[in-house]
Amino acid sequence: MKTPTRRRLATLCLALATSGAAFAQAGILEEDLDPEPTPAPAIAESDVPQPGSPEAALAAGDFATAANLFLAAAESETAPGARAALRLRAARALFLFDDVAGARRELERALYESPTTPLVDGREDPAFVALQQDALAAVAKRRERDAVGRIQRAAAALADGRNEEARRLLEEALRLAPDDPEALYDLALVDLRTGNEDAALAGFERVIAFGFGGGQKVPPDLKLRALNNAAVVYLRREQAEDAATALVEATRLAPRDASAWFNLGLAREKLGERDAALEALRRAHELAPRDVTTLRQLGVTLVRSRAWEEAAGYLATATELDPASADLERLLGQARRGLGDLAGATTALRRAVELDAGNRQGEASTAARLLAETRLDAGDPATAAEAALRVTALRPEEVDGWALLGLARLRSGDARGAVTAFERATAIDPSRADVAHNLGTAKLDLGDLEGAETAYRRALEL
């Protein structure tokens, strides 16, 4: 090798200076250039396909073996997403092997089980991309069809009272169609029937929320049912304001739905809005004039409002429609008594006592008490005493029956029997001033002045 001469060195320096100027003119500084090429990163051992692995077979172009190995791995995988990912890779290998039908089969199996699993990147192969999209669309239709079938079977199970079978079918349906509003609603019904009120309310509220903010729409009748059922739960929880809000929306959605108006009447009654409650109940009655439940609630609300005439009209209709109802007869008796129709009240109250002879509903004792009061108002203490005695037989622990029995006996001239009844009433409830006063009167009638004075003083103290 020749030693560089001074002339050659000068020429080399000039060349370097010229090239540096050229780099500067191009906006590139010499220090920005790598003095040496950057070595490529080392390939990690884990990135290298292992012999016998599906990746190695794929890299070697043995697509059939790769597909079989991916499918074998999928069979042993327990996580649905990972299993689906392996099936998708098997589908890719089968496609490369020109087994399009097999690829389509594995694509559909994978996507049916786990539709959110990322698809295989096949951008360099438009035909495979199209196959994946076709499989995805077919699977979506199949999942929807299978979900509908399960929802229909669940509805039949619900109708037969097979709640747990319905729950299983609906949970399967929701795995296939996670946002299906019909399945969500029916599952909320199952929760409501089985006492899981929190889950039921959450389900109804989820159905109601569909459609807000431009989201998924639900059929109006389904939303109406969800609003009504959510309102029933709100009413049970004494959330009358929430119930009223839901029911106003229900009546806006279906202005001719009698049940929505009825429930709105209940909610407004609980809020203390009696006039608004009556307006809603009257609307419910207009829409369903033969609905006894609405007639009963109208009667209850009107009796509380002391609107005796209107109450008696609705309740008379109700008793014609349901002649075996003790509570309707008792309410009718109250309304007629309020009107001053003591004979009509007596007839209705006697009928109520007869219809609940064993007092299983608690109506016989209440009606007998009202009957005793009515007959006292009518100046018929003997009949009043009979009714009061019936009260004491049915509810011996209650003070009202003994107090009425004492008063009826006192007015019948049976002062001694009156004293016995009043003393029994006093033993049950010593704080009743009216009982103490009437006891004093009975003892006075018997000539027991000292006992009368004691009773009167007790009444004054009370």
In which residue are the tokens 């029956």 written?
A: 401
Do 388 and 402 belong together in one domain? no
pLDDT band, residue 123 (cuts 50/70/90):
confident
Q: How confident is the model at residue 19, as a pLDDT?
A: 38
Do 106 and 59 belong together in one domain? yes
Q: What distance in Å separates the CA atoms of residue 184 and residue 172, rounded to the nearest whole number? A: 11
Q: How confident is the model at residue 120, as a pLDDT?
A: 85
**Which pTM value belongs to this model?**
0.72
Do 295 and 370 belong together in one domain? yes
Domain membership of residue 407 as a residue range:
397-462
The residue among 395, 423, 440 that closes a domain is 395
Do 79 and 67 belong together in one domain? yes
Residue 313 lies in a domain: yes
Q: Does residue 251 carry a pLDDT above 50? A: yes
Contact predicate 103/91, CB 8 Å: yes
Residue 23 lies in a domain: no
Cα torsion angle, 181, 184, 189, 192, sign: negative
Q: How confident is the model at residue 216, as a pLDDT?
A: 64
Q: Does residue 8 carry a pLDDT above 60? A: no
pLDDT band, residue 48 (cuts 50/70/90):
low
Q: Does residue 271 carry a pLDDT above 80? A: yes
pLDDT band, residue 21 (cuts 50/70/90):
very low
Q: What are 183-201's pLDDT values in tens digits?
A: 999 999 999 999 999 999 9
Q: How confident is the model at residue 100, as a pLDDT?
A: 94
Task: Give the percent of the chain with pLDDT over 70.
Answer: 88
Q: Look up residue 331 and give its two tokens.
A: 């309410």
The residue among 395, 415, 443 that closes a domain is 395
Do 309 and 365 belong together in one domain? yes
Please name the residues in contact with 10: beta carbons below 8 A apart, sequence gap of 6 or more.
Answer: none
Residue 207 lies in a domain: no
Q: Look up residue 359 and give its two tokens.
A: 């007092």
The residue among 395, 425, 449 that closes a domain is 395
Do 308 and 374 belong together in one domain? yes
Q: Does residue 122 carry a pLDDT above 90? A: no
Give the mean model confidence (pLDDT) for residues 74-91.
92
- Render 383-434 in DSSP notation, one character per residue: HHHHHHHHHHHH-TT-HHHHHHHHHHHHHTT-HHHHHHHHHHHHHH-TT-HH
Residue 320 lies in a domain: yes
Do 298 and 383 belong together in one domain? yes
Do 373 and 301 belong together in one domain? yes
Angle between helices 433-445 and 415-428 (to 10 degrees): 150
Residue 14 lies in a domain: no
Angle between helices 163-176 and 126-159 (to 10 degrees): 160
Contact predicate 352/363, CB 8 Å: yes
Do 301 and 390 belong together in one domain? yes
Q: What distance in Å separates the CA atoms of residue 295 and residue 291, rounded to the nearest whole number? A: 7
Report which residue type is found at 71: L
Contact predicate 287/254, CB 8 Å: no
How many independent structural domains does the chain possess? 3
Q: Which helix (H) or strand (E) holds 442?
A: helix 433-445
Q: What are 152-177's pLDDT values in tens digits?
A: 999 999 999 999 999 999 999 999 99
Most confident of 19-33, 203-217, 429-443: 429-443
Residue 167 lies in a domain: no
Residue 305 lies in a domain: yes
Do 320 and 308 belong together in one domain? yes
Q: What are 372-420's pLDDT values in tens digits?
A: 999 999 999 999 999 999 999 999 999 999 999 999 999 999 999 999 9
Q: Does residue 447 carry a pLDDT above 80? A: yes
Q: Does residue 243 carry a pLDDT above 60? A: yes
Give the mean model confidence (pLDDT) for residues 124-134.
90
Q: What are 421-440's pLDDT values in tens digits?
A: 999 999 999 999 999 999 99
User: What are the percentages of helix, strand and coil residues in the chain, rounded to 5?
Assistant: 75, 0, 25
Do 401 and 439 belong together in one domain? yes
CATH code, 346: 1.25.40.10
Do 300 and 334 belong together in one domain? yes
Angle between helices 197-209 and 181-193 (to 10 degrees): 160
Q: Give the number of other CB atoms < 10 A from CB of residue 129.
A: 15
